[in-house]
Amino acid sequence: MKPAIKSFVAPHRTLMGPGPSDVNPRILQALSQVTIGHLDPVFVDLMDEVKQLLQYAFQTNNALTMPVSAPGSAGMEAVFVNLIEPDDKVIVCQNGVFGGRMQQNVQRCGGQAIMVQDEWGSATDINKLEQTLKQHPDAKAVAFVHAETSTGVRNDAKTLCALAKQYECLTIVDAVTSLGGIELDVDGWHIDAIYSGTQKCLSCVPGLSPVSFSLNAIEVIKNRRSPVQSWFLDMDLVMGYWGQGTKRAYHHTAPVNSVYALHEALVILQEEGLESAWQRHAEMHDKLRDGLEKLGLRFVVKAESRLPQLNMVQIPEGVDDAAIRHRLLQEFNLEIGAGLGALAGKVWRIGLMGYGATQRNVDYCVDALSQVLK
């Protein structure tokens, strides 16, 4: 007979890849609380607080703001399946992996994705977007990634949204890696639909996707020509559960303990303050940059377009990518990320997110890399 399988004990790692990030012990403690019912009045009160805290994090007054009970990819799908119908034209800006996933979502909704392509590692060219908008005056929406996790590029969300609005397009934004790490202003930048994840700069456990829809987006959803193709992600149905007041309509069993964890993550963000969190990420990035450059590592993304929370550096010639990452994990319990797509084997992606954006992690990463690169 096979031996009995024993309880799993996770190793202690320092997570400095593209996500998940190190989880604050306060969040793990919140996660471990006793489970209560997803329609318990106490949990309903907690849901209202989560909504308010997410409105603060997103900088929005949108009533339709909530966490989807699934990871960021489901948040992406929730946005597209609710807003996009067959034959809709959507202009998708792509300069990395996740712009490509937006394209796939548009196509699976039966829409037509008009692509604005830029080199991976460069920011979206505003002039290319404007030219495309002029060529397609019937476009319904402009979609782009604010913080491209695959390359460490920050796209100028404020400017891209302003241009889209000039052409009366909906704006759809991927904020999976940006929420809590860099400036984000949903109402001020006129973002109609946005989605994020809990496991990046919020330093929460993976498994939830905060989303927010503007009044304009809600009007589009209400006037759809066809039903939303996903029952689970239909916002009209979900809001019966995540709506206002104590009386909620059962839709699904929410991941109760994960919502505890998200609530605590957002409380921590509120305590620090958004601007302070953004500043901390920027300062730790500067320190990491200085340390990596002293090791001879070169950043791929131009300074003005770099994300502080996701740093992409070129692997030195002759260095074995997988071997270095394996040694970091085995000898230092340190995880950094590999390159994706065309960048596989050419770059490392080093995360400085949320609870992990500290001087201790910066020093530990630089020291570990200096040892294994020797």
Average pLDDT over every residue of 76-82: 98
| 243 pLDDT above the threshold of 80 | no
Nearest of 322, 313, 300, 303 to residue 351 by alpha carbon = 313
**Which segment of 3-17, 138-152, 234-248, 268-282 scores lowest on mean pLDDT?**
234-248
Dihedral sign, CA of 26, 27, 33, 36?
positive
Nearest of 171, 155, 146, 259 to residue 207 by alpha carbon = 259
The per-residue pLDDT for 1 is 77
Specify whether the CB–CB gap between 213 and 221 falls below 8 A: yes
Sketch out the chain's domains with CATH numbers: 14-20+274-373 (3.90.1150.10), 25-270 (3.40.640.10)
pLDDT band at 249 (very low <50, low <70, confident <90, very high): confident
CA 364 → CA 14, 297, 352, 371, distances in Å? 9, 16, 12, 11
Spatial distance between the Cα atoms of 76 and 222, rounded to a whole number of angstroms: 19
Q: For residue range 352-367, what is the model confidence (pLDDT) as tens digits? A: 999 999 999 999 999 9
Spatial distance between the Cα atoms of 271 and 260, rounded to a whole number of angstroms: 17
Average pLDDT over every residue of 237-242: 87
SS3 call for 371: helix
The per-residue pLDDT for 189 is 98
Average pLDDT over every residue of 76-83: 98
